[in-house]
């Protein structure tokens, strides 16, 4: 790849960001950078920012902007030789502005999924807390019910994925994400995709990336599966 390519992907919980990100990384050679992975790595390594993040997470609070930027931006600045896709950051306008001051983005992908689809997906979502691996009992189930495929440890369903908390969680996401979406729209790099199925969205994203990363363009890459 002659020119480095940097992108972010945004979407509410259950929108398929992880699945789309894996397909982009697999088909276009971008590094998939997950903000959740960065947080877990820093907590495990007991860095100053990781310890600080853990105090918020243990209280059930979102990690604030100044901590998230301390966790992520130094790592991104180090990756001067790589093209990447950032998943899970920025979540707020302050984070988007901080990222903008550190890196020039090529595109921002926004997944706009209907509320009823999100509710149905999250109702069946279970996670492995230590790694962040996500399973869906309908279309991506673990080999053994409620057990992580890799470690054999139990899976959990997050409290805020439960129906009674879900609508408020999605409403909060929409309120916080709108300024970020407007920010990238004003910069002319926002691409929004809407559908109820990831396999319907993927070919359109793949076509976009094929035009922006022509050195590895291939029709076969835009099939519905990696």
Question: In whole numbers, what is the pLDDT of the chain averaged over residues?
Answer: 88
Quote the pLDDT of residue 60.
78
Quote the pLDDT of residue 217.
42
Whether this model's pTM surpasses 0.85: no
pLDDT for 31-42, tens place per residue? 999 998 999 899
Residue 7 DSSP code: E
Quote the pLDDT of residue 213.
83
Ranges of beta strands (E only) in 24-137 are 31-34, 84-87, 107-112, 125-128, 133-136
pLDDT for 111-145, tens place per residue? 999 988 988 888 888 888 888 888 888 878 999 99
Quote the pLDDT of residue 95.
97
Cα 156 to Cα 148: distance, rounded to the nearest angstrom: 10
Q: Could you please state the CATH topology (level 3) that the domain comprising 6-113+165-217 is classified under.
A: Rossmann fold (3.40.50)
Domain range list for the chain:
6-113+165-217
With H, G, I as helix, E, B as strand and everything else as coil, classify residue 220: helix
What are φ and ψ of residue 100, in 5° steps?
-60, -35
Using alpha carbons only, what angle is made at residue 186 by residues 196 and 21, rounded to the nearest 5 degrees? 40
Cα 90 to Cα 8: distance, rounded to the nearest angstrom: 8
- Cβ atoms 92, 110 nearer than 8 A: no
Element containing residue 161 per DSSP (H, E): none
pLDDT in tens, the chain (226 residues): 457 899 999 999 889 998 999 999 999 999 999 998 999 899 999 999 999 999 998 887 889 999 999 999 988 988 888 999 999 999 999 999 999 999 999 999 999 999 889 888 888 888 888 888 888 888 789 999 999 999 999 999 877 767 667 788 888 899 999 999 999 999 999 999 999 999 999 999 999 999 988 544 444 567 655 4
């Amino acid at each position: 790849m002659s020119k480095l390519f940097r992108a972010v992907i945004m979407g509410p919980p259950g929108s398929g960001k992880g699945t789309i990100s894996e397909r982009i990384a697999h088909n276009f050679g971008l590094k998939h950078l997950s903000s959740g992975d960065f947080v877990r790595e820093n907590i495990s390594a007991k860095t100053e920012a990781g310890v600080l993040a853990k105090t918020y997470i243990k209280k059930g609070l979102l990690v604030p902007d100044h901590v998230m930027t301390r966790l992520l931006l130094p790592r991104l600045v180090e990756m001067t030789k790589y093209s990447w896709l950032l998943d899970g950051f920025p979540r707020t306008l302050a984070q988007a502005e901080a990222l903008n001051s550190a890196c020039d983005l090529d595109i921002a992908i926004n997944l706009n999924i209907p509320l009823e689809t999100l509710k149905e997906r999250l109702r069946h979502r279970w996670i492995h807390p230590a790694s962040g691996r996500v399973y869906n009992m309908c279309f991506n189930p673990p080999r053994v019910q409620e057990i992580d495929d890799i470690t054999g440890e139990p899976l959990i369903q997050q409290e805020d994925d439960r129906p009674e908390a879900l609508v408020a969680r999605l409403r909060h996401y929409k309120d916080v994400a709108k300024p970020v979406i407007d920010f990238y729209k004003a910069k002319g790099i926002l691409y929004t995709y809407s559908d109820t199925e990831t396999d319907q969205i993927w070919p359109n994203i793949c076509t976009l990336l094929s035009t922006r990363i022509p050195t590895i363009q291939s029709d076969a890459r835009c099939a519905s599966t990696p």
